[in-house]
Amino acid sequence: MTKYVFVTGGVVSSIGKGVMAASLGMLLEARGFKIAIMKLDPYINVDPGTMNPFEHGEVFVTDDGAETDLDLGHYERFTTCTLSQKSNATTGGIYNAVIQKERRGEYLGKTVQVIPHITDEIKSRIRSLTADQEEEVDIVIIEIGGTVGDIESLPFLEALRQFRLEIGPPNCCFCHVTLVPYIEAAGELKTKPTQHSVRSLRDIGIQPNVIVCRTGTQTLSDNERHKIAMFCDVMDDAIISAEDTSPFYAIPLNFKNQKLDETVLNLFGIDPPESDLSDWIAMVDRLNKVDKTLRIAAVGKYIDHDDAYKSINEAFDHAGIVNDCSIDLQWIDSERFEKGEDPADVLADFDGVLVGPGFGSRGIEGKIRAVQHARESKLPFFGICLGMQIACLELARNLLGLKNANSTEFDPETPDPIISLLTEQKGIKDMGGTMRLGAYRCELQENTRARAAYGKDVISERHRHRYEFNNAYLEAMQKDAGMVVSGWHPKGDHNLVEIVELADHPWFCAAQFHPEFKSTPLKPQPLFKDFVAAALAHQEARG
């Protein structure tokens, strides 16, 4: 029978539940188990697609087009799971489904309540995660967003309490991730917040089986471990110290050393099979041995939130590993170039420029100036999504002489709409879940950088956009601006431009899709890998 691990959090938010869940998934896969993984989020948005990156961080997109929480990015980077619409559920989505059923009369006139209707819907989502799997899933890991004690999380926790009774306690394990703060003045770690957090869980009817303690730079002593175990009714070996670990991808190895995966399997009555972490250990060793640093300028507009471009940050780390260098990625506010600062001065000490994704007109002119500098100075350039559109605008304005060229997103009345609304987007008014989302086929052209990077003719990458390159300008851009279309999405008589390049440049490549979403530390994304290699060559040429 499938086993279930539920990951909850206590004391504070952003405690690291997602990384812990992903790490456990990786460790279990290394022992040969097939896993599935899911995030339950307590906010009322149906999904994070309409949420501001300043507030929520990036929106992670799955192959089938789900706009999900960024923790799903951790799941895919650490494990071999390919996630889907079923892998993320929110309070908004749960309530929306229940209300639609009520409107259709599916509850036969009953009064619709949190218990049982909302909790039943939550349990149904959990069960549906594995319903269509080709082979039986051994262990399901489910992370519950928020913090124990929050009002928003209560229906989810109540559903888990019921679920445990329905499948039988031996098939269910609760891992509670909590903060054990270090008080400088006292010179010791304090376990009381963890005790109170566990007590809140027990008040709901849930007894954690494993407690993962975030301790900052400190490590739990045996006495502190025993104290938490005693007050929280957990075995000593089920108290896991989660101190800050560097590099980031060494975190699972820290859990492995403390036998987190063995503890969970023992709770399930499973004799732990042998584990093979050789590839992961080799990757971390390689990361630890890098002796070169590469400076990349990332020109964006959400630079004040570390998680706004989470997958891009991680994809650069992966590319750095395979190129034996560390990446010093500096996010630069594109509005600086609109306020008088010269890109040549700001970008002088960098060896590559990235213009990343985003929405809205703020900072666009600054991004165009950054692309112009990268093109004219032969500085390696990489554009992603909006970054590709910005590159096309720069070429049209400065090489075709179309000074008012723009995107209809920023100027609906532009005389030269180089970028325009996708045909299928016309007439759409709802914002949530209505963009071109998910994985699409892209056919690569021979003798291009994209083809050389991927090493194959056809790829599949994930998208999240409403606007596209306007093919009415294609001939002029190819003939007079030197633009090379190296990737197409076949769509009858209206092929979509997916990747553009410049042949007369050391490395100038931009993609309409989001390549960062499919990058992992063991399989770095090809475009990121080649961009970093080009930036290294630029660094070496500079001396």
Our answer to whether residue 338 is catalytic in this structure is no
Residue 309: name the closest of 355, 275, 341 by CA: 355
The DSSP bridge pattern shows strands 67-68 and 60-61 to be: antiparallel
The DSSP bridge pattern shows strands 188-189 and 88-90 to be: unpaired
Rg (CA), the chain: 25
Q: How many helices (H) and strands (E) does the chain have?
A: 18, 23
Q: CB under 8 Å to 47, separation ≥6 — which residues?
A: 66, 67, 68, 88, 90, 92, 93, 432, 433
- Which among 409, 501, 516, 538 is annotated as catalytic? 516
The DSSP bridge pattern shows strands 293-300 and 353-355 to be: parallel
Q: Where are the beta strands (DSSP E) in 74-138?
A: 88-90
What are the structure tokens assigned to 372, written together?
């112009």
In the DSSP assignment, the letter for residue 6 is E
**DSSP reduced 3-state for 424:** helix
Residue 37: name the closest of 10, 14, 68 by CA: 68
Our answer to whether residue 516 is catalytic in this structure is yes
Cα first-last separation, the chain? 61
**DSSP reduced 3-state for 357:** coil
Angle at 406 between CA 412 and CA 493, to 5 degrees: 85
Angle at 81 between CA 77 and CA 254, to 5 degrees: 50
Q: CB under 8 Å to 291, separation ≥6 — which residues?
A: 324
In order of 18, 80, 172, 210, 286, the CA distances from 164 in angstroms are: 21, 27, 6, 15, 42
Our answer to whether residue 385 is catalytic in this structure is yes
In order of 12, 164, 197, the CA distances from 206 in angstroms are: 19, 9, 11
Q: Rounded to whole angstroms, how far apart are CA atoms 352 and 56?
A: 28
- Which among 385, 392, 442, 509 is annotated as catalytic? 385
In order of 49, 307, 432, 468, the CA distances from 435 in angstroms are: 10, 22, 8, 12
Q: Rounded to whole angstroms, how far apart are CA atoms 60 and 457?
A: 26
Name the strand (E) or helix (H) holding 529: helix 526-542
**DSSP reduced 3-state for 368:** helix
Q: Rounded to whole angstroms, how far apart are CA atoms 143 and 175?
A: 9
Catalytic residues: 385, 514, 516
